Amino acid sequence: MSVRKLLLQVLLLAAFCTVQAQSVEIIPQPTKVDIRKNAQGFTFSAEKTKVFAPDNCETARIFNESLQAYYPQREDVQRKDDKMAQNLDGSIIFINTAMKNLGSEGYIIDVNSRRITIEANEETGFFYALQTLWQLIGEDFYLNQYNEDFVPVVGYVKQIPSCKIEDYPRFSYRGKHLDCARHFWDANYIKKYIDLLAFHKLNTFHWHLTDDQGWRIEIKKYPKLQSVAAYRNGTLIGHYSDRPESEHIYDTIRYGGYYTQEQIKDIVAYAKKRHITIIPEIELPGHAQAALAAYPEFSCRNVPIEVCKTWGVLDDVFCPKEETFKFLEDVLDEVMALFPSEYIHIGGDECPTVRWKECDYCQNLMKEKGFKNENDIQAYFTTRIEDYLNKHGRKIIGWDEILEKGVRQSATILSWQGEQGAINAAKRGNNAIMAASAYLYFNFYQGIAASEPVSFGGFTPLKKTYTFDPVSDVLTQEESKHILGMQACTWTEYIDNTTLLEYNDMPRLAALSERAWSKKEVRDYDDFVNRLDNVLKIYEHAGFNYSKSHFAVSVQSESKKNGIELSLSSKLRNGTIYYTLDGSTPNENSKKYTKPFIIKNDVVLQAVVYKDGKKFSPLLKTNYHINKATGKKYEMSDINPQYSSTGKYPLTDGVCGNKKSYDSWVGTYGKDYNVVLDLEKPTEINSIGINFMDEQGSWIFLPEEVKMYVSNDKQSWQQVSNVEQTRLKDNASVVNYKANCKQKARYVKILGVSIGNCPEGHSGAGYPAHTFADEIEVR
């Protein structure tokens, strides 16, 4: 053994022997925790603590063997027999029980000075108890197979506080989706990913296997799905919105891969041992270009096309011919043989009707069936597939569009566009799973865009995920029973390596875990962040790359008589904030933040958090443009809670958003933009301005018209004429609306008239359009 490793062991042993745990910091928060404050806890020894369990307890064996891998002198699991006199002191004991309130996934852990007892009704309960036990023991042994540098500590002990934990999940469906079509992850990494989900007590892996950019599952009857559909001849360079679609640039690297059926069987079995069900997704009738590149005869045009090299919604979809249904049924036969899950996900989202409108077969089908429009074709398509799967004892899950197009009662709706899909499903009597993109899409930015890797768009910080509840208050108690749970999704258009994938998922996975498992009343974000420390240590120990964006410096601005007061804060415990206002990058020699400070002119604020002498957080860099509106209060109706930005008054915080800084924008959804600003006293006004975003690929449209008004009493309004529209040269997606005027007024009103719904021909045609604005400026 090297001197370095020996020294490390001695230091760690000294540290661990002196640790006296005083609290139980578990994620997800257990249902009930009783800490015996004045009682002596249990001394866990990695080498000596025995394990007793019934013969059929697989979890006890897994736990013991994970320790034996490092301490081979450990005894094997000993049989727990109620009829035998056994010395159980100094042991961990697994006990079968029959408590109705625990269900199949619940457990009880009771820790005292003599022993730890773990009770559960079923093996799944023991497994989730083990995930909690690992957190009580600490990061030192969990997921060690992924830590090449792990050195077991000789004589390792850990003091576990005396407590009783009673725990069971709120929701039966706790899911995580991963898109393997846009970018491909090898089979070994999928297993690692499943271990990560299991640690977070998630029980469903939604495996997105097919899309326009690649087909990832071997289908033996159709070999061109492997040889053709699984590979594309290049990939988009940069972000989709960087330039017009006609000017997109692609690399020429052949990219792809697929999972063999043997690999899939192995992964399904691996997941089952971790009490995770895998639900495969086979996209139809849209997002089918990869399949149609291999078999164009199942399209409407029957012309050669290639596996897609870009992202977005594409016009080539499956044609509802009998040959197509035979193809899809053959595919689903092989899929069902591989996946024993009750559900098969059939996609159903974002299916353009362009090809169906041009197709003679489709138009004749519409006449034959008496369809009103092409949307009825999708309903016909979906219900035929649903009936086929039902006949084979399976049920379908689909994105919320399938509800709008028409499905049977047995279909479960995965609501991604917001809460409404799940609400509509529950009121209709269909089961639903909440996956609202604004809260549960982990490919969205989680921090200030300037400090983040390129993402799809949107803004989903850790707190936004954590504070979201999947059961809407508009549902009755009976309707709420149809909300089976929640799921987060990671789409991988801009995620092409595992380091980046982990960065996007963690620690938002921990927030998902607690919202899906813990009781509704658990909504203390500050407490969650404190408990998160232990989970972050496990991430680090296992070598996972997690984001520290939630520790970044946040700023609140408030108008004061002598200027704008800025307050800085960070969620990092025992961290120190350093900042600059002169454009230089802050370090430990910069000004230390101790209290709020005043700015009077335009400045560039940069701030960072240090811990233990090292930079810990991403850099905050914010340009402040001070004007008469900065820091002032306003009233606004119809704010979309999914896009309400951060801070108290984000439209007057002095910071102008750009097309990537989704944290700055405030949105409405299908509603007019109506803001009333209070300047606090009659003020000389020379100009009024506001920025709106034009990002139609994300369903964000400019208002049809922008009107501006002034008033002194908020009752009588005078319209300001000649509102000019200017597209910013260095940020083409942002348009400034400005009116010059000579007025003295206290109140300013800005009305942006929404287009209402996305227009015909747009991928979101018929759905409400977003209107985004940021930063009101009054000069």
Q: Which residues are catalytic?
A: 211, 287, 350
Cα separation, 324 vs 317, in Å, equals 11
Q: What is the DSSP letter of 582?
A: B
Length of the chain equals 779
Neighbouring C-beta atoms of residue 179, cutoff 10 Å: 25
Structure tokens at 36: 């015996």
Neighbouring C-beta atoms of residue 594, cutoff 10 Å: 9
3-state secondary structure 147-188: CCCCCCCCCCEEEECCEEEEECCCCCEEEEEEECCCCCCCHH
Asked whether 206 and 176 are in contact (CB, 8 A), the reply is yes
Cα-based torsion angle of the residue sequence 154, 159, 164, 170 in order, rounded to the nearest 10 degrees? -60
Helices (H), ranges, 570-623: none
- Taking 3-state DSSP, the helix, strand and coil percentages for the chain, each rounded to the nearest 5, stand at 30, 30, 45
751 residue type, one letter = L
Cα separation, 565 vs 121, in Å, equals 57
DSSP string covering 249-292: -B----EE--B-HHHHHHHHHHHHHTT-EEEEEEEESSS-HHHH
At how many degrees (to 10) do helices 322-338 and 375-391 cross?
40
Q: What is the DSSP letter of 209?
A: -
In angstroms, the Cα distances linking 336 to 266, 302, 416, 531 are 15, 28, 25, 41
Asked whether 549 and 580 are in contact (CB, 8 A), the reply is no
Asked whether 649 and 445 are in contact (CB, 8 A), the reply is no
CA-nearest of 633, 565, 569 to 600 is: 565
> Which DSSP helix (H) or strand (E) runs through 53?
strand 50-53
What letters, b where the CB count within 10 A reaches 16 and e where it falls short, cover 705-718? ebbbbbbeeeeebe
Asked whether 16 and 159 are in contact (CB, 8 A), the reply is no
